[in-house]
Structure 1
Amino acid sequence: AAFPRQTPYRPAPLASLPRVLDPDEYNESLEKRQAQAERLAIRARLKLQYQLQLNNPHSAELIEDPAMLRWTYARTSNIYPNFRPTPKTSLLGALFGIGPFFFWWYVLKADRVSLLTRHVQL
Structure 2
Amino acid sequence: MAGTGVDPDGLRARPRHHGAFALGYGALDPTFAGGRAEGTGYLAGALWVLFGFFFYVMSVVNWGNRPWTKSGLPQPWLGFGQISMLILPSTVLFLVLAVPAVAEWGADTAILDANTLIGWFTA
Taking structure 1 as the reference length, the TM-score comes to 0.30
Using CA pairs under 8 Å that are at least 6 residues apart, name the structure with larger relative contact order, 1 or 2.
2
Structure possessing the higher radius of gyration over alpha carbons: 1
Taking structure 2 as the reference length, the TM-score comes to 0.30
